[in-house]
Amino acid sequence: MTRILVTGASGNIGRMTLKHLSKRVPANDIVGLARDPDKAADLAAGGIEIRKGDYLDREGLVRAFEGIDKVMLVSTHAFTDRNTQHQNVIEAAKQAGVRHVVYMPIIHNPESTIKLPHVTEEDIFAEEKLKASGLTYTLVRHPPFLENIQGYVGGNPLEKGVLTPAGTGKAGYASREELAEAHAVVLTEAGHENKSYSLYGGPAVSFSDIAQILSDISGKPVPLKAVSDQEYIANLVSAGMPEPAARFVLTWVQGVNVGEWEGQTGDLEKLLGRKPTTPAEFLRANYASLELGTKN
């Protein structure tokens, strides 16, 4: 019996990964880790053991990892001490006798000048720590999420148009749900040891492409309106986003505009055994929420 633990059980990616795992292996082989286990009560009700653990409590992590063979390290939030937290998980896993750690950094091009604040360098740090740990590892690198497109384009594109700084780059967005499903595949199948995957969706699209997709869906023109960086931030702030968060979103948009995530590895399709959801399919399925200007 292989016991698999997923950290961040009460968050989006962790929760989704656990649910996909439960479709592939018995629930008593699965463990979720949460700072507040009460927030994962629904998973516990489904037979998944939920253990209490905090990335900043290294000794507590060692206890939580007792009897675990594989750990899925769900990245913690930006603008926290990510280096300490991720290093604690890796070191605690090794001390507890875990054999294999799967980690989900953002896809990054070593030659790129794009550095997402509190993300890129911290992800590289964690990758290096994991590879140097002696543990078996798998890296499941993420592109931007399909769910974030609406936020990137200004919040209510059907009314205001797609409002972004100018740029022609594209991104191979993927949905959280399908990335989590790919995690479950890696965690439950052999053959992924010491490998790295870049989980691009497809096809890659630019903001101009997104404007055209929304035009096709809505049956009315949705223009692409280029704005300055300052105007872009001001628009997000006027929609209720705190300015530091708006500046953070801008760095992602700048990355898209220079083609930071334009790759086409086919890794996600291979892991899923089917083509991943396209941006057009995703946006059409979420047309009602886009029309209402709500956030996915």
CATH number at residue 132: 3.40.50.720
119 and 206 in a common domain: no
pLDDT at 294 over 50: no
Q: Is residue 21 part of a domain?
A: yes
166 and 104 in a common domain: no
Q: What is the mean pLDDT of residues 204-231?
A: 96
pLDDT value of residue 112: 87
Task: Choose the final residue of a domain: 141, 158, 190.
Answer: 141
pLDDT value of residue 156: 81
Residues spanned by the domain of 123 = 4-141
pLDDT value of residue 153: 92
- CA distance from start to end of the chain: 38
Cα–Cα distance, 248 to 235 (Å, whole number) = 14
Cα–Cα distance, 284 to 107 (Å, whole number) = 26
pLDDT value of residue 292: 43
SS3 call for 277: coil
Strands (E), 3-103: 4-6, 30-34, 49-52, 70-73, 100-103
pLDDT band at 154 (very low <50, low <70, confident <90, very high): confident
Average pLDDT of the chain? 94
* Phi, psi for residue 167 in degrees, rounded to 5: 170, 150
Number of domains in the chain: 2
Name every residue whose Cβ is closer than 8 Å to that of residue 126 and which is 6 or more positions away in sequence. Answer: 73, 75, 82, 83, 86, 87, 90, 103, 105
What confidence tens digit (pLDDT) does each residue in 1-53 have? Answer: 799 999 999 999 999 999 999 999 999 999 999 999 999 999 999 999 999 99
Q: What is the mean pLDDT of residues 174-198?
A: 98
pTM for the model stands at: 0.95
User: Hey, what are 214's tokens?
Assistant: 């929304």
The continuous run of DSSP H or E covering 196 comes out as: strand 195-198
Task: Choose the final residue of a domain: 141, 157, 178.
Answer: 141
Q: Which residue, among 4, 20, 259, has the nearest Cα to 138 in the 3D structure? A: 4
SS3 call for 228: coil
157 and 283 in a common domain: yes
158 and 50 in a common domain: no
CATH number at residue 237: 3.90.25.10
pLDDT value of residue 216: 94
User: What DSSP designation does 19 have?
Assistant: H
Q: What is the mean pLDDT of residues 188-215?
A: 97
Q: Is residue 166 part of a domain?
A: yes
249 and 118 in a common domain: no
SS3 call for 270: helix
Q: What is the mean pLDDT of residues 244-261?
A: 96
135 and 206 in a common domain: no
pLDDT value of residue 155: 72
User: Hey, what are 142's tokens?
Assistant: 């993420």
pLDDT value of residue 19: 98
Map tokens 């490998």 to a residue. Answer: 195
99 and 40 in a common domain: yes
pLDDT value of residue 289: 60
136 and 24 in a common domain: yes
pLDDT band at 295 (very low <50, low <70, confident <90, very high): very low
pLDDT value of residue 132: 98
Q: What is the mean pLDDT of residues 150-173?
A: 92
96 and 152 in a common domain: no
Q: Is residue 178 part of a domain?
A: no
Helix 229-238 and helix 243-257, axial crossing angle in degrees, nearest 10: 130
pLDDT value of residue 288: 60
What confidence tens digit (pLDDT) does each residue in 68-120 have? Answer: 999 999 999 999 999 999 999 999 999 999 999 999 999 998 888 889 999 99
Q: What is the mean pLDDT of residues 241-245?
A: 94
19 and 133 in a common domain: yes
Q: Is residue 186 part of a domain?
A: no
Cα–Cα distance, 85 to 73 (Å, whole number) = 10
Q: What is the mean pLDDT of residues 131-156?
A: 94
Cα–Cα distance, 143 to 149 (Å, whole number) = 12
Percent of the chain having pLDDT more than 70? 97
User: What DSSP designation does 39 have?
Assistant: G
45 and 70 in a common domain: yes
Percent of the chain having pLDDT more than 90? 89
pLDDT value of residue 119: 97
pLDDT band at 293 (very low <50, low <70, confident <90, very high): very low
